[in-house]
Structure 1
Amino acid sequence: MKKIVIAAGTGFLGKVLIAYFKTKAESITILTRGKSRIENNVQFIHWNAKTSGDWTHELENAEIVINLAGKSVDCRYTQKNKDRILNSRVTSTAILGEVISKCKNPPRIWLNSSTATIYRHSLDKEMDEIDGEIGTGFSVDVATSWEKTFFSQQTPKTRKIALRTSIVLGKKGGALPSILNLTKIGLGGKQGYGNQKLSWIHELDFARSIEFIINTPSIEGVVNIVSPKPVTNSTFMKTLRRVAKIPFGIPISKPILEFGARIIKTETELILKSRNVIPSKLIHNGFRFLYPDIKPALITLI
């Protein structure tokens, strides 16, 4: 690979991709709200994710663009936060599409973040890209607007893929460190009824799946970036306790979760929604997961 541009690449997932691709690509450019700087073959260029500027030159002759921009959903869904969550995704996607459409030699591949939360709450049916059922509610509305904006961009020379990613389990970021800390103090029991499904993916398989998509020209459109084996919340927490050698975990009921969520200013949807999602496109195209099962994945991360 020659040049990869990662928009909003200073967060957890961006760092995962930088670590994975820095020895595989000649150069990596990170579009960041921070200051411009250079670290080895990785350069950081300032952008505001809203308007064009000097950063637009980085997309000319770039081979791959990966857009990870979007305000964290780990917050209370006040109207102000709802607007910021939606606008940060739609606006950044629209400006990237506008710039790519004007490139003389545009990127050949554009991968744009989306979310597996786009599917409905499901305890039984596994949702894939073919017949997965789209849900309702604020988070789903954000996801559908995000993807609509992405696929409406006029970039005929660029293959586009929307990454419907669920929870990425990693050592140094994402949800796992916080869940592990709660488990260590005895709060590692099931959450709610515990029967809600959790779709997840190991951080290494996340990066490997991105590379696989890049190298597989037949893959386009929406792709579920999840492991092939969703687990229940109860199973996940039990496995986490065993791997971390924590003897017990107090279960947390839905009312207590609601109370706690208000205190730490987040939403229970992040825990209680059943994300029962499988990666049919990756599997049918021959991708092999290093960590398809939850226990080996957690062992490597803890």
Structure 2
Amino acid sequence: MTRVVIGGSTGFIGRHLLQKYRTEGREVVTISRSGADLTWHDQSGIDAAVDGAALVVGLAGKSVNCRYTPANRAEIFRSRLDTTAALSTAIRRASAPPPLWVNSSTATIYRHAEDRPMTESTGELGTGFSVDVARAWEQTLMADALPATRRVALRTAIVLGDAGVLGPLRRLARFGLGGTQLDGWWPVPASRIAAGTAHLPGARGGRQRFSWIHVDDVLGIIDFLEGHPALDGPVNASAPNPVDNRSFMAAVRRAVGARIGPPMPRWMLEIGAMGIRTETELILKSRWVLPEKLLAAGYRFRHPDLDKALRASLAS
């Protein structure tokens, strides 16, 4: 069996996977809202694609790079849970179910961590909207009894590559705005506290941890999972050398040749986030994640060093 089913094939990681598998000569069936072989409304088509497949990869979900309005929060949940449930239904109905289902999750499921790194065995889950999304996503992945299919929740850190987070950061750095992103006090309405979308002051001096991974390693990890049947459940997809925000932004400046980058205080970040319709949590929460399971199983990262990963990303 060589067929791969990719749900969420038009996103950043999905496009890379699709190109990789087609280059390798594997049969690929794609699912997305548009621009794919199947749409998420075609459950019978998804059922047929999944039956007899060697691998199912679920990547679908609205980007969290948006303002957490009630409508966006609802769509962030719906886009993850409904698509994951559709894949689960197809696997449950299959006469020849796939041996492996790798589904996206997020390293944001862990708490804000400044004291120690979070691993699969010792990590503590956090609270708030983003964590609630991650919990529900993984619960949907594991909800059905699928005895013939191994399931992996890929708790992915910030992904570096030729798209995604590096685009706006590169532009900011080139305009002299690529400095350390500083947390601090900011007025938080009661409505945001109730919704779990409030970011309360955390790390000082740009010391919030930044866990990252290059897209090449995301693809490499999925290959590794196919060949290592002992790995299941949550798997941290994060490079083994996380840094703090101060170090990360300095590395971005080096990569683009920017000589200056004054610190960016929170009030400036909040105003900018409102202007470009995103949330400061994405850069101020301290994500300190280590890939315990992968390292123990012998996975060798292609891009363990941040400076080299950034250069590879910008070169592509």
Matched residue, 1:174 = 164
- Tell me if the contact between 2:9 and 2:30 (Cα under 8 Å) persists in the aligned partners: yes
Matched residue, 1:292 = 304
CA distance in 1, matches of 2:53, 2:130: 32
Local SS of the residue matching 2:84: helix
- Tell me if the contact between 1:166 and 1:226 (Cα under 8 Å) persists in the aligned partners: yes
Local SS of the residue matching 2:23: coil
Letter matched to residue 294 of structure 2: L
Mapping 1:28-43, distance limit 5 Å:
28-35=28-35
In the TM superposition, residue 51 of structure 1 has moved relative to its aligned partner by 6.0
Letter matched to residue 5 of structure 1: V
CA distance in 1, matches of 2:134, 2:286: 16
Mapping 1:3-18, distance limit 5 Å:
3-18=3-18
Local SS of the residue matching 1:224: strand
The worse-fitting range, judged by mean Cα deviation, of 25-34 and 272-281 is 25-34
Matched residue, 1:277 = 289
- Which of 150, 160, 163 aligns to 1:159? It is 150
**Over the residues paired in the alignment, what is the CA RMSD in angstroms?**
1.3
Q: Does 1:24 align with 2:24?
A: yes
Matched residue, 1:89 = 80
In the TM superposition, residue 24 of structure 1 has moved relative to its aligned partner by 2.8
Local SS of the residue matching 2:277: coil
CA distance in 1, matches of 2:313, 2:139: 35
CA distance in 2, matches of 1:17, 1:66: 9
- Alignment length (residue pairs): 292
CA distance in 2, matches of 1:113, 1:147: 9
CA distance in 2, matches of 1:278, 1:266: 26
CA distance in 1, matches of 2:71, 2:238: 30
Matched residue, 2:121 = 130
Mapping 1:74-113, distance limit 5 Å:
74-113=65-104
Matched residue, 2:49 = 58
Q: Which has the higher strand share?
A: 1
In the TM superposition, residue 54 of structure 1 has moved relative to its aligned partner by 2.5
Q: Per-residue displacement from partner, 1:131-183 (whole Å, max 9, x unpaired)? A: 10100000000100111111112211101000000111002x11012210111
In the TM superposition, residue 33 of structure 1 has moved relative to its aligned partner by 1.7
Matched residue, 1:236 = 248
TM-score by length of 2: 0.90
In the TM superposition, residue 87 of structure 1 has moved relative to its aligned partner by 1.2
In the TM superposition, residue 25 of structure 1 has moved relative to its aligned partner by 4.5
Matched residue, 1:187 = 177
Matched residue, 1:221 = 233
In the TM superposition, residue 98 of structure 1 has moved relative to its aligned partner by 1.1
Matched residue, 2:201 = none
Matched residue, 1:258 = 270
Letter matched to residue 56 of structure 1: D
Q: Does 1:46 align with 2:38?
A: yes
Letter matched to residue 173 of structure 2: T
Q: Per-residue displacement from partner, 1:56-105 (whole Å, max 9, x unpaired)? A: 21111111000001111011111111111011111111121111101101
CA distance in 2, matches of 1:115, 1:254: 24
CA distance in 1, matches of 2:59, 2:84: 9
Local SS of the residue matching 1:90: helix
- Tell me if the contact between 2:210 and 2:288 (Cα under 8 Å) persists in the aligned partners: yes
Letter matched to residue 14 of structure 1: G
CA distance in 1, matches of 2:25, 2:228: 17
Letter matched to residue 46 of structure 1: L
Letter matched to residue 64 of structure 2: V
Local SS of the residue matching 2:137: helix
Matched residue, 2:59 = 68
- Tell me if the contact between 1:189 and 1:250 (Cα under 8 Å) persists in the aligned partners: yes
CA distance in 2, matches of 1:101, 1:122: 37
- Which of 136, 139, 160 aligns to 1:145? It is 136
Letter matched to residue 210 of structure 1: I
